[in-house]
Amino acid sequence: MRSKKIVASVMALMMVFGAGSVIGSIDAAPFVVTASAAPLEEYGGFEYTVEETGSITIRGYKGTDTDVTIPDTIDGKKVTIIGVEAFKSNTDIKSVTVPESVRYIMENAFNGCSALENVTLPTLLSSVGDSAFLSCPSLKSVKIPDQCTEIGTRAFGYTIKLTPKKSGHGITVTYPKVSDFKIFCYPNSPGETYAKDNEFDYEYLNYVHGDYEYRSNPDKSVVIMKYNGNAESLNIANDFSSDEVKEIADNAFDGTKSANTDIKLSSVKLPETLTKIGERSFYACPNMQNITIPQSVTEIGDKALGYRQGITSVIPLKMGAVKIKNFTIYGHKDSAAETYAKDNGFTFVYIAGDYQYKLTEDGAEIVKFTGYGSDVMIPDKLEDNAVTAIGEGAFMGVAGTKTITVPDGVTKIGPNAFINCANLTEITLPKSVTDIGERSIGYYSLLGQEDKVKTAIKGYKNTAAEKYAKDNELEFIPLDEDKNDDSTTSKTDSTESKNDGKKDDSSKADNSSSNNDSKKDDSSKADNSSSKNDGKPDDTSKPDDTQTTDQDTTSGEDESFNKGDVNGDGYINVTDIALVASHIKGIKPLSDKGLKAADVNEDTKVNVTDIALIAAHIKGIKAIV
């Protein structure tokens, strides 16, 4: 009988002072009572005081609502504190929404609210006092805001149990955990620390940024966890302009996980800081036909890209992952993107500087040019792959470019390859081109209206270049119009020598006329003869009436070279320019011999100045000497 009285007395004390005030075998922080000199006022069932700062503290609740929403302001003043024991032992309340204005929830504020099942805490909550939600057995989980830096002893997830001592003198107080209690918190936050210290089950919350949910790593980098929008096009780098996005988590953009039934996403620009794309991260996005993966990505999960939900079996009917037809991945050589594309049988387009290309049986086909410049010299190789084709629409709409030089070795130019290049006045095509697609050069099309662009085609007679120019009524400038036959060098008495910007190493004797403007003349010729060698150096000399210079004298060593003839094939032409440009851009470095030949002005540097000198030589403006 005596023990019952003791228990009853303790319970009475708890009702008055809260669990923290019971004296005995209790491991609890000292109870703190806060007082206010301000008079107690009432509003909508809430008892409150106005503090000296002008803010409001909720002191009690006399209302009858079971779902309580605490006001954020009363009489124009912000509610910032839920006071000590404000809702203590209210057994009717089932849910509480604490407003965004509140920064502090004091000790025992909701202690003993046995029916409380759900509480919504404000995002800027700073502190939760000791035993604030003690003895709330129906509260099975709580979301702790990231800004909550102080969480008191047994603030969440505990009940209280009083057991009379066997001696009959006093009681033992214990604090059992609420069964299956779970904490939702942010990574590396005080909420996570509280969960770990008290051995509660916990799950990470995601930050929200627009339509994105994300997590922040200790190094402040971002992991995108989920996308909740339904945009057609996304630029993740712009959407997270102030953060470094390192990872896209599993299923982040998974259409089957989205609340939207009509997934519109068709284009995504990934940030250059990205290192990992998780499993099925872009699964079931059927409108997304291609994606460019930055070189920084080192890991791509299973079915991360290029798959949608579809029928995998008719009998029995089964749904599963099927490939998106014609899905294309753009990326860099020897990258995770290339490996993923090949492993999954997707088309892979390589990125090399300003060019995107794909490999065919014949070599590299340029599919897109992303650069700019007044004069564009297309390289003859991309990452050791010979350029053999210009794909459909590859240079479509390139603005500001006036001249384009296609390298020797290209055999095919696809339809619309150079369409909508409004400023393109001249394009040079090699003999190797045998196939030129419709409207590939000299056309401009917009909103169904088509017009011509005055583009002159420089090329060789009786080639696809000449035929295309005539068929499309474009100006044709022959590069070999003065040749008398198919031989490399022709000689006739009393004729002029014209080598069209190519290197000529011969000099003429009496009774010959030299039309060698801007060309190099280093070898001798007999009387009444003329040489036409189309830029091929002539290192032979005649026995009579000859002149020699330092340039035509060779030592017989393998490292001999002629300035401007970068590839050492005996000609100075656009191929040499392309090689120098490729070296400058870092696409393919030149050999030591090539470097010497490329350094036309002999300043020990290979740069655009040397390209300009070679171009001037080819055009007959100024010969290389």
Q: Considering only CA atoms, which of 476, 477, 473 is closest in space to residue 453?
A: 473
The Cα-based distances of 247 to 226, 260, 617 in angstroms read: 11, 23, 52
Where does 355-478 sit in CATH, by number? 3.80.10
At 245, list the tokens. 């996005």
Q: What percent of the chain has pLDDT over 70?
A: 81
Q: Residue 462: which region, alpha, beta or left (left: phi > 0; alpha: psi -120 to 50)?
A: left
Q: Is the peptide bond before 316 cis (omega within 30 degrees of 0)?
A: yes
Lowest mean pLDDT among 178-192, 233-247, 483-497, 588-602: 483-497
pLDDT band at 35 (very low <50, low <70, confident <90, very high): low
Q: Are 225 and 240 within 8 A, CB to CB?
A: no
Under CATH, what is the fold of the domain 207-348?
A: 3.80.10
Task: Using the predicted structure, report yes or no on whether residue 507 has a pLDDT greater than 50.
Answer: no
pLDDT, position 619:
72
Q: Is the CA virtual torsion 514, 515, 517, 520 positive or negative?
A: negative
Please provide the DSSP assignment of 464-508 as one string.
HHHHHHHHTT--EEESSTT-SSSSS-B--TT-EE--TT-----B-
Query: How many Cβ atoms from other residues are within 10 Å of residue 403's Cβ?
Result: 19
pLDDT, position 10:
45
Domain range 27-204, its CATH number among 3.80.10.10, 1.10.1840.10, 3.30.1740.10, 3.40.50.1950: 3.80.10.10
Task: Indicate if 207-348 has the same CATH topology as 27-204.
Answer: yes
Please provide the DSSP assignment of 106-125 as one string.
-TTTTTT-TT--EEE--TT-
pLDDT digits (tens, 9 = 90+) for 440-498: 999 998 877 888 999 999 999 999 999 999 999 999 999 975 444 443 333 333 333 33
Average pLDDT across the chain, whole number: 83
pLDDT, position 258:
64
Q: Are 262 and 236 within 8 A, CB to CB?
A: no
Q: What percent of the chain has pLDDT over 90?
A: 62
pLDDT digits (tens, 9 = 90+) for 508-543: 333 333 333 433 344 333 333 333 344 444 443 333
Which helix (H) or strand (E) segment holds residue 193: the answer is helix 190-197
Which helix (H) or strand (E) segment holds residue 308: the answer is strand 307-313
Lowest mean pLDDT among 140-154, 318-332, 548-562: 548-562
The Cα-based distances of 315 to 66, 309, 311 in angstroms read: 53, 17, 10
What are the residue boundaries of the structural domains of the chain, listed by start?
Answer: 27-204, 207-348, 355-478
pTM across the whole model: 0.62
The Cα-based distances of 8 to 11, 174, 265 in angstroms read: 5, 16, 65
pLDDT, position 545:
39
* Mean pLDDT value across residues 74-88: 98
pLDDT digits (tens, 9 = 90+) for 273-326: 999 999 999 999 999 999 999 999 999 999 999 999 888 888 888 888 999 999
* Mean pLDDT value across residues 24-47: 63
Burial 336-362 (b: 16+ CB within 10 A, else e): bbbebbeebebebbbbbbbbbbbeeee
